[in-house]
Chains A and B, each alone.
Chain A
Amino acid sequence: MADQPSELPADTSVLFRSRVLFLTGKGGTGKTTLAAAIGRLAASQGRRTLVCELDNQRSSLTAIFGKTPTYQPTSVAPGLSVANIEWMPALDDWLADLVGAGRIVRMIMKNRMISIFLEATPGARDLMLLHRVVKLAEQFDLVIVDMPASGNAVGMLSVVGTSRRLFDAGPIRRCAEEIDAMFARADTNLVLVGLPEEMVVNETVETRGRVTAELPRLHQPLVLLNRATPATLSDGERALLDQLEGGELGVEARELVDAGRWEERLESATAEALGRLRAVVPVALLPVLARGEGAARVVGQLTAALARQSRAKVDLVGDVPG
């Protein structure tokens, strides 16, 4: 990719040709909903798909699929499974692979000192969780990882690099190397979920910078700008709205004009967000769906929107004048 192009083209097909997709973004941007929607769509295209969370003590997937994810993947629809990778069983599995004897592992794990040691050893938890993703990617065609919010997610992913510097040898070093190899694969991708809001855009730009600096092995991330409102109002229409707004209005007429202004602001916020983001990272738009609806319904609508997008192979709503 050339240095600092004025606008980076978005290639949403990475969503559908990846084997591992990490999703992160500022809190409240709709990561989990999107993870579920991409998962549904991939499964409907015949790919064995897993949507998983990392050691999340309070799963948001439950509200969407009606099933609380467990460590072992459970099927929620044809071709679609969910899981919550908890770190202790992940560690257990990794040790069992290593030592080969379940009984010894169990005995060791029962030792209080050991669990405290591992809990406290820098990065051990994150490494075990990510290593489990490596293993799951061998069993599924697509593993979608619903990561924590961006600040924590980048810290977690960069543990791999830190660990490779820290551990000179031994199985834990190999573990970090296997995760690192997964990062370097062309079919491993990072998606940043954003919203057309100033502070969310700030954080997305900041995260994008951290990814370059701290996760050199990962490819350039794709930003999915969620709840985007494409511009439809012409300059003339906007001018008329402005004039109405500036005039004397009764309470009821005022409420109507305010509603128009509310939508107009959503449009300009989207244009502004796109302008800032596209200077540093490829961005694809996802439309505003039924705002305020329950998660399960939004996932259904989002899945349909993604399906249209993947067929059209272009930005869903085309270019937004900025």
Chain B
Amino acid sequence: MSRSPLEALARTQKLVVCVGSGGVGKTTTAASLALWAALSGRRVLVLTIDPARRLANSLGLSEIGNEEVRIPLERLLTEATGAPEPVPGGQLWAMMLDPKSTLDDVIGKVSKDTATRDAIFANRIYRSIAGSFSGSQEYMATERLYDVYGSGRYDLVVLDTPPVKNALDFLEAPGRLARFLDRQVMKWFLTPYDEEGGVGKRLMLGTSAVVYRLLGHIFGREFLKELSVFFTLFRDLYDGMRERHEAVGRIFGDPRTTFLVVSGPNEPSVDVATFFVQELRARSLKIGGVVVNQLHRARLVNPDVDALLGRKARELDPVLAPQVLARLGAAHRRLRDLAALERQWVGRLAAAAPGVPLVEIDRQPGEVHDLSGLLLLHRWLFAPI
């Protein structure tokens, strides 16, 4: 019997990135993996970019903020029967990304003085971009990741990604930002505004002149002026931010980084998972496993309900027994058909990810919302294959 593929991953990796479509148990999987690694003695942070409060939910907390929160593992021993004694030294931390305050932190860190920082905070454009526009979550996620990864406080960071349809956005974000922060590009924008007086003081020829006029026409002079102030304030920050984003790109490609593709047993999520497998492979990023969550199981094909339960049910309630037995039969047929359909989707996913270990997790009776719930998942996540 060989060890579970995820066990090696939880023991040795420095970063595990969980990807997949929404609603497939990605956050729960991330939290459960983190808990396992923490119990086995590693210092682990699980970081979610999900704007929903799902990580807090699944850890049984009412709130997690932009700061790292330590989850007391001792709680498990009182909460769950049969919980393993944590290996000394293990720690579990959780953090949920708040894009706005993360951006503020970053600006605080890379600003050369408090005056620059305060000017940026006061800028109308800054206030409106921080945290609200498409892609900002992904930028900030990589920022936060860079911080915690490099802090030395954790042996393992488990990153739970947002359920974006264009799901690799967060991988692209550093590249896009780096392009945006390209010095040459910035120079091009700032040139006409650099000296007091703004546009018009400088003689522009050809395309540039047309372009500026058009931009002024579209966005209004006021906005362009404000934007140039924004860019000017940011100018000294570019190098710092760019370096950080390039570093994150390197972290994703590091040999101790692994991606975990999470899916449900249905067409839309298998579709997204397949896409992830292809995209990650195209980027030569390491896939440690495919986790299929929420599987329904039925082992019986055509059970004889009356033979199995009839006598017992009639003893308990002779009046209601017939209809309850009929219902159990019908419910079982539906469950069986569903389980059979799900097998097909799992098969399709396995075929799309040859050579990648596939881990199946049965649907849990209730929703997982505490440490003992996460502990129950270990039986599947870390089952030997």
Q: Which residues of A contact B (CB under 8 A)?
A: 26-29, 32-33, 55-58, 60, 63, 95, 98-99, 104, 107-108, 111-114, 116-117, 119-123, 125-126, 148-149, 151-152, 155-156, 158-159, 162, 165-173, 195, 197-200, 202-203, 206, 233-234, 236-237, 239-241, 243-244, 247, 249-250, 252-253, 255-257, 259-263, 265, 290-295
The yes or no answer to B289 lying at the interface (CB within 8 A) is no
Q: Given A104-B210, A151-B51, A292-B342, A126–B133 Cβ distance below 8 Å?
A: yes
Residue of B21, B128, B305 near A256 (CB, 8 A) is B305
Q: Is the interface of A mostly helix, strand, loop or mixed?
A: helix
User: Which residues of B are found within 8 Å of A256, using beta-carbon distances?
Assistant: 300, 303, 305, 308-309, 328-329, 332
Please name 18 further chain A to chain B contacts, defined as beta carbons within 8 Å, in addition to the given A122-B128, A172-B218, sorted by A numbering: A28-B21, A28-B163, A33-B268, A56-B166, A60-B268, A108-B211, A116-B180, A152-B162, A199-B54, A203-B52, A243-B317, A244-B324, A256-B309, A259-B298, A259-B334, A265-B365, A292-B337, A295-B267
* Chain B residue nearest in CB terms to A261: B365
CB neighbours of A241 from chain B (8 A): 324, 328
Given contacts A111-B211, A237-B324, A243-B316, contact A26 B52 (CB under 8 A): yes
Give Cα A60 to B22, complex, Å: 13
Contacts of B129 in A (CB 8 A): 122
Complex CA gap A260/B328 in Å reads 5
Q: Do B220 and A162 touch (CB < 8 A)? A: no
Interface size class of B (residues with CB under 8 A): 35 or more
Decide yes or no whether B134 CB sits under 8 A from chain A: yes
B258 to chain A minimum Cβ distance, whole angstroms, is 23
**Which residues 130-155 of B sit at the A interface, judged by CB distance below 8 A?**
132-134, 137
B316–A244 touching, CB < 8 Å? yes
- Please tell me if the beta carbons of B220 and A169 are within 8 angstroms of each other in the complex: yes
- Say yes or no: A149 contacts B164, CB within 8 Å: yes
**What are 26 A-B residue pairs whose CB atoms fall within 8 Å in the complex?**
A27-B163, A58-B165, A60-B268, A63-B268, A98-B218, A116-B180, A117-B189, A123-B128, A126-B134, A165-B128, A172-B218, A172-B220, A173-B220, A198-B367, A240-B313, A240-B324, A244-B309, A244-B313, A255-B332, A256-B329, A257-B328, A262-B335, A292-B265, A292-B266, A292-B337, A295-B267
For A117, give the chain B residue with the smallest CB separation: B189
Majority DSSP secondary structure for residues of B touching A: helix
Q: How near does chain B come to A72, taking the closest CB pair, in angstroms?
A: 20
B87 at the interface (CB under 8 A from A): no
List, in ascending order, chain A residues with CB within 8 A of B296's CB.
Answer: 262
Q: Could you say which of B275, B331, B337 contacts A263, with CB atoms under 8 Å apart?
A: B331
Q: What's the least CB distance linking A153 to chain B, in Å?
A: 10
A26-B23, A241-B324, A255-B299 as given contacts; A121 in contact with B134, CB under 8 Å:
no
Task: Determine the distance from Cα of A172 to Cα of B220 in the docked complex, in whole angstroms.
Answer: 8
Q: Min CB distance, B170 to chain A, in Å?
A: 12
CB pair A168 B163 closer than 8 Å: no
B124 interface residue, CB < 8 Å from A? yes
Residue in B124, B180, B308, B341 whose beta carbon sits within 8 Å of that of A250 in the complex: B308
Cα A114 to Cα B53 with chains together (Å): 38
Residues of B within 8 A of A168 (CB): 220, 222-223
Contacts of B110 in A (CB 8 A): none
Q: How far is the CA of A60 from the CA of B268 in the complex (A)?
A: 8
Judging by beta carbons under 8 Å apart, are A149 and B165 in contact? yes
Nearest 9 pairs of A and B residues by beta carbon: A27-B22, A28-B23, A27-B163, A292-B341, A151-B51, A170-B220, A259-B332, A259-B331, A253-B308
